[in-house]
Amino acid sequence: MHDPDAEAEAIIQEIYEAFRGVPRGEITLHEALVIDEYGTAEEMVEARKRDTDERWEEVPDEHVQYGSDALAYFDPVSWRYYIPRFMIWMLINFRTDDTLTSEIIIYSFDPCTGPDSSDFMDIKLKRFDLLSAEQSVVVCRFLRYMVKCSGDDEDVDALRALRDYWGRFCPESAG
């Protein structure tokens, strides 16, 4: 784990404030992973039992690191519940993580990427529309930070997400 710099730490605090108290949706993280694997209804029920968190802040790091594929399968309320935890994990770990987690997190903010882009874009926009103005500003700041600091594929993807949707939420003077 890497200690975040002052800017990342400030964004983390904004995430905590903006997403405080958001409810968990109908689909849990492990349930979404079973959906990704075309699991049965019984497997989804069993997977759901693994998710004992009552607040997004309680989701363990290892669930985030190895559960990022779930992001594509959340309903809008579930996505809003889990996305702050994924952003915080990325702000702390993107420099040292050797999985695809960071890339998948950034993809979840790009309205134009995903399987069968037209249908997936509609789902993503429903997710984005569910966010409050304050939450959208935090996402924009997060993506700007990733453009500035990641130096990898994530910066290109984050830049595209900013251009195509999130950039409108950042004050022009913000970094």
> In the chain, where are the structural domains located?
6-168
Whether the predicted pLDDT of 2 surpasses 70: no
Percent of the chain with pLDDT over 90: 78
Environment class of 71 (CB within 10 Å of its CB; exposed 0-12, middle 13-18, buried 19+): buried
Percent of the chain with pLDDT over 70: 90
Note the pTM of the prediction, 2 decimals. 0.91
Q: What is the pLDDT of residue 115?
A: 52
For the stretch 72-109, pLDDT in tens is 999 999 999 999 999 999 999 998 888 899 999 999 99
